[in-house]
Copies of this chain bind each other. A is one copy, B any other.
Amino acid sequence: MKHPTRKATTHVNQNEGLIFEKSSAGKAAWKLPPLDVPEVDTSKLLGSSERKDLGNMPEVSEIEIIRHFTRLSTWNYAIDLGMYPLGSCTMKYNPRVNEAVARVEGLANRHPYQPEKISQGALQILKTLSECLIDITGMDAITLQPAAGAHGEMTGLLMVRAYHHAQGRPRKKILIPDSAHGTNPATAAMVDYAVENLKSDSRGMVDIGALEAQMNEDVAALMLTNPNTLGVFEQQIHKIADILHAKGGLLYMDGANMNALVGKVRPGDFGVDVMHLNLHKTFSTPHGGGGPGSGPVAIKKILEPFLPKPVLVTKTDGTLGFEYDRPQSVGRVRAFYGNFGMFVRALAYIQANGPDGLRQTTEDAVLNANYIRKGLEGTYDLPYSTPTMHEVVFSDKLQAKKGVRTMDIAKRLIDYGFHPYTTAFPLIVPGALMIEPTESESKEEMDLFIDAMKSIAAEVEEDPQTVLDAPHSTRVSRLDETAAARKPVLRWKPASK
């Protein structure tokens, strides 16, 4: 490339077919111990329910499986390899001690229905994590049951809905800023609320005037992300809360961006009634290629009766247990007690940090975002000059003149050894470049990122085609997503059939 990068190069990389293409009858990666009870006659036991054939399931050996997945893994980018500046995703370091403690025998391999009296260890973890998250958010109570952020949103809105019902005046709609993440409106729809868009003002914050105008007795709640998806802190936050509360509405906060606030300010203190957290963002549990996550929902007292059941309680004898008799509960949102393994990791993260570490973490996250903003301001268009917290959003306005869009720049970043930033939203910024470095990036790594972005901007001027054709250094070039959607091939089929 014209502008050589100090960050990456290319290296020989193994090809690998689909596992089915390696299968051959008689190969096996399994062996069962001898049966210590009598064999049984399957057909006698199962009759017509007996399965005879497992179709095209593969038959391969252990070494082939190790190589298959090891080779596949080398085709991925990962936090462990470098900066992963996806805005709103908070791709921070995933500590290895979290993985180690999550695998401790008595935590990894115990059944959710074993008697509470022999489950005090796990329950103690739920309790301690709950207390930590309650103090971090400044709320009064919490449920750890939701499996992810969106699931937490649903749980939160269900409580809002139950609350208004209990008040005897159910409401119809949820206000959602146009800068919101897609799960917010999708969630509102799932719990049968109408979605009403709320527009942002010129500084990228909630338009107070519009809010006052749109707020009425039909509005169940406002779903606000704070800092919002522009990385901007809603400075009028308390005014917003007042407007809602004045008309009996509730303030829901999408806590996806808590990485900008932990230890510095608490949503509970600025008027939030209900919020979710993403343990897989703020609290360092790994994204694992898309999940699992965990989306605890923290609430104010007024919503406590509506918590999903069961609720963790300390019993009269001082031991911990679950309370199932919760007449006003919205009910269960999933089986068992939530993604326990993520609770272990999140608590380990909190313990490794302590109060000082958490505060420093937040400060570094905000420092990093501002450093990148400073480094790229001028090179890329900054649609909102409002102060930046944990992430900064540029637009491709300048590059678009040359026909280069945010996705092209993103793909080009790959050649420079980085994972792209977020391009999908916020919708209020056409051609958005949404960049969140998190606290886990060193100055060295960020300087390389800034260099890369500047170098790409220069390429856009000198030879845009190089950028439009990117990536050039990957084992596959840009993939045809349109074709994939037009004639979906969603599974492998044997050539013969």
Is residue A12 within 8 Å, beta carbon to beta carbon, of the partner chain? yes
In the bound assembly, the distance between CA atoms of A15 and B418 in angstroms comes to 11
Take A10-B11, A474-B11 as given contacts and tell me if A62 and B442 are in contact as well, using a CB distance cutoff of 8 Å: no
**A414, B12: Cβ atoms closer than 8 Å:** yes
**B96, A80: Cβ atoms closer than 8 Å:** no
Complex interface: chain B residues within 8 A of A74 (CB): 11, 74, 81
Is residue A93 within 8 Å, beta carbon to beta carbon, of the partner chain? yes
- Beyond contacts A9-B12, A14-B81, A31-B352: 5 other A-B pairs, Cβ-Cβ < 8 A, are A10-B12, A11-B475, A12-B471, A63-B440, A74-B74
Take A70-B81, A71-B81, A74-B74 as given contacts and tell me if A442 and B22 are in contact as well, using a CB distance cutoff of 8 Å: yes
Is residue A273 within 8 Å, beta carbon to beta carbon, of the partner chain? no
**A62, B93: Cβ atoms closer than 8 Å:** yes
Is residue A108 within 8 Å, beta carbon to beta carbon, of the partner chain? no
In the bound assembly, the distance between CA atoms of A442 and B67 in angstroms comes to 11
In the bound assembly, the distance between CA atoms of A70 and B96 in angstroms comes to 13
CB distance from A225 to the nearest CB of B (A): 27
Is residue A267 within 8 Å, beta carbon to beta carbon, of the partner chain? no
**B7, A417: Cβ atoms closer than 8 Å:** no
- What are 29 A-B contacts defined by CB distance under 8 Å? A8-B12, A8-B14, A8-B15, A9-B12, A9-B15, A10-B10, A10-B11, A10-B12, A10-B13, A11-B11, A11-B75, A11-B473, A11-B475, A12-B414, A12-B417, A12-B471, A12-B473, A14-B82, A14-B417, A15-B417, A62-B93, A62-B95, A63-B93, A63-B440, A66-B96, A67-B80, A70-B81, A74-B74, A74-B81
Of B7, B15, B70, B440, which is within 8 A of A15 by CB? B7
Complex interface: chain B residues within 8 A of A70 (CB): 80-81
In the bound assembly, the distance between CA atoms of A475 and B12 in angstroms comes to 8
Ranked nearest first, the 4 interchain pairs of A and B with the lowest CB-CB distance are A11-B13, A63-B93, A10-B10, A12-B473
**A10, B475: Cβ atoms closer than 8 Å:** yes
Q: Which residue on B lies nearest to A97, using beta carbons?
A: B62
Q: Which residue on B lies nearest to A473, using beta carbons?
A: B12
**B10, A6: Cβ atoms closer than 8 Å:** no
Within 8 A of B (CB), among A84-100: 93, 95-96
Is residue A391 within 8 Å, beta carbon to beta carbon, of the partner chain? no
Is residue A444 within 8 Å, beta carbon to beta carbon, of the partner chain? yes
Is residue A64 within 8 Å, beta carbon to beta carbon, of the partner chain? yes
Q: Which residue on B lies nearest to A13, using beta carbons?
A: B11
Is residue A254 within 8 Å, beta carbon to beta carbon, of the partner chain? no
Complex interface: chain B residues within 8 A of A436 (CB): none
Q: Which residue on B lies nearest to A416, using beta carbons?
A: B12
Is residue A396 within 8 Å, beta carbon to beta carbon, of the partner chain? no
Most buried by B among A31, A80, A473: A80
Within 8 A of B (CB), among A205-228: none
In the bound assembly, the distance between CA atoms of A64 and B312 in angstroms comes to 39
In the bound assembly, the distance between CA atoms of A28 and B62 in angstroms comes to 39
Is residue A415 within 8 Å, beta carbon to beta carbon, of the partner chain? yes
